[in-house]
Amino acid sequence: MEYFPLFMNLRQAPCLIVGGGEVALRKVRLLRAAGAELTVLSPVLCRELAELAAAGAVRHLAAEFVPDTVGGQRLVIAATDDRAVNRAVSDAAKAANIPVNVVDDPELSTWISPAIVDRSPLLIAVSTGGSVPVLGRLVRARLESLIPAGFGRLAGFGARFRDRVKARFADVEQRRAFWESVLEGPVADAVVAGSDDVAEQMMEQRLAEPDAPSGAVYLVGAGPGNPDLLTFRALRLMQQADVVLYDNLVAPALLELVRRDAERIFVGKQRANHALPQEDINALMLRLAQEGKRVLRLKGGDPFTFGRGGEEIEKLAEHGIPFEVVPGITSASGAAAYAGIPLTHRDYAQSVTFVTGHKQDGTIQLDWPALTRPHQTVVVYMGVSTASELCAAFVEHGKPSDTPAAVVEWATTERQRTVVGTLETLPALIGEHGIASPALIIVGEVVALAGRLGWFRRIENPTVTI
C-alpha cells in the first residue's frame, strides 16, 4: 500500500491553495464542500475564483509565494503551472510538517486527491496512487451509476437508530444480522426513495417484531425493450427482488438482468388470452408480500401508461403493503425516438395523445372529435389487430386519408421495424410486412419526418412526404 487512505475533518480548518487558474478552482470547490476556510494565493485569479473572493467565500492573497505563507495551515495544495513554484510550496510545507499536494505531481506530494463519490455522510474515495488518475475517474463513474443518491440519506437514517438498535440487540451478531436485513430490505428502499415517514414506521415495526415478515412490492417500468434504457433504480431493484412477476411485453434480454436466484412467474396478458386475470395478479402480489418477500412487478414501458399500475397498487394500499412505483420510458416515447418521429414538433404538432386500440362491445370507443383535430400526434397502444377499423374511423371522423401513419414493432430492440404509410395504406402494409404485437401506431404529420430522422435500423416504405 503506497498511500494510506485517510478521511480528514477540514471543517473551519485553514487551508492554502497556491494558484489561481482552473485547476486551483477545482480544488477550491472540493475544499469548500468540506467546510474548509480557504486562502488562495495568486497574483491573478480566474473569473470564478475572483467572484468567490469578491463574495468573501475565499480569502485572496494577490502575491507571489513565499515559504512563510504555509504557516498555520492544516493543508496545502500547489496548483500552478510553474514546477519551480510548486516545488517551493512542497518544500515549505514538508519542512513545517503540513500535508501538501502538488497537482499531478506525486513526487512532490505527501498526499494525493482521490476521485470521490459523494453520498454524504457516505463517502467513497478511489485512487490509483497518482499513476493513472483517469482510471480512478472511470472507476468513480462506474460507482456513481451503482450507488443510489439516496444512500447518503440511508446513512443518516441508520445513525438516528443506531443507539436503539444497540440497546435492542445486545449480541453483536444479532445486531449485524438485523442491520443487514434492514439495509438490504424494504426499509432501505423506502429511505432511498425519499419516503422517510414510511421508513420510520417500518423501522419501528422491525424493532418491535424483528422476526416478523417484512415484504414489499415494486412496480417497475422496464421501458420499451432495450436494456440500456432501464433506469438505475429499476436495475437495482431487479437485482434485489425475491420474486419477479413479468408479462409478455418484457423483453427476454431484460429478464437476464434479474437476480439469478429470484423466482420468476409469468403473468402475461395477450389479446383474448390472459395467463392470469388482473384480480389474480393483484392477489398474488399481496400474498407474496405478506409472506415477507420483495416482489418485483416488471411491466413493459411505464407502469402508469396503459399498464394497470394504479389498479395493482390500490390493492396493496388497502392492505398496508409497502410499495414503490419506478417509472420507465413509456413505449410511445421509445418507439417515437428510435423511429425518428418526434411526438411534438413546432411546425407540425403542438400536442400528443395516447390511446388504446382495444375494442369494447365490438367497437373502438374513443373521443374521435378530439383525436382528429389538426396539429397533434396520436399514439395508439394495442392497435395492430384493429388497425383497419382504427384507420377507417380516423378518416370517417374527418382526418384526411393521406395523413401520415406508421407502425413501430419491437421498438428500441434489434428486432425493431418501422413501417410508414398513410391512414389509407397502413392496414395493408401491416399485413404485407407481418407486423404483430408488441407494436405501436403513430398518426400525424410528424410521421413524415421518419424518412429523414430515423436513425435506428431501417424504415420500411419511407415514401410519405408533407
Task: Provide long-range contacts, Cβ within 8 A and 24+ apart, for 140-143.
Answer: 140/115, 140/116, 143/117
* Geometric angle at alpha carbon 30, from 28 and 32, rounded to 5°: 65
Select from 222, 224, 185, 177 the least CA-distant residue to 202. 185
Tell whether residue 43 is among the known ligand binding residues.
yes
User: Which residues are bridge partners to 318 per DSSP?
Assistant: none
Tell whether residue 382 is among the known ligand binding residues.
yes
Question: Rounded distance, CA 324 to CA 313, Å?
Answer: 9
Tell whether residue 428 is among the known ligand binding residues.
no
Is position 247 annotated as part of the catalytic site?
yes
Rg (CA), the chain: 30
Question: Rounded distance, CA 370 to CA 358, Å?
Answer: 18
223 in Cβ contact with 243 (< 8 Å): no
User: Which residues are bridge partners to 15 per DSSP?
Assistant: 38, 75
247, 293, 299, 315: which one is catalytic? 247
114 secondary structure, DSSP code: P
**CA distances, 337 to each of 124, 175, 332, 343 (Å):** 36, 50, 8, 8
Exposure string (b/e) for 107-121, b if CB count within 10 Å is 16 or more? ebbbbbbbbbbebee
**Dihedral, CA of residue 420, residue 426, residue 431 and residue 434, to nearest 10:** 30
In sequence order, which ranges of 291-375 are alpha helices (DSSP H)?
309-318, 331-339, 368-371
User: Which residues are bridge partners to 76 per DSSP?
Assistant: 16, 100
Find how far residue 40's CA is from the centre of its chain.
Answer: 37
Tell whether residue 23 is among the known ligand binding residues.
yes
**CA distances, 215 to each of 68, 323, 362 (Å):** 63, 9, 41
432 in Cβ contact with 405 (< 8 Å): no
Select from 62, 72, 13 the least CA-distant residue to 40. 62
Is position 27 annotated as part of the catalytic site?
no
Task: Give the position of cell 425519499.
Answer: 194
118, 242, 269, 359: which one is catalytic? 269
13 in Cβ contact with 23 (< 8 Å): no
* Geometric angle at alpha carbon 325, from 322 and 329, rounded to 5°: 165
Tell whether residue 300 is among the known ligand binding residues.
yes
CB atoms within 10 A of CB 352: 18
Question: Rounded distance, CA 42 to CA 56, Å?
Answer: 16
Tell whether residue 44 is among the known ligand binding residues.
yes
- Residues annotated within the binding site are 22-23, 43-44, 224, 300-302, 382, 411
Active site residues: 247, 269
- Residues annotated within the binding site for NAD(+) are 22-23, 43-44
- Residues annotated within the binding site for S-adenosyl-L-methionine are 224, 300-302, 382, 411
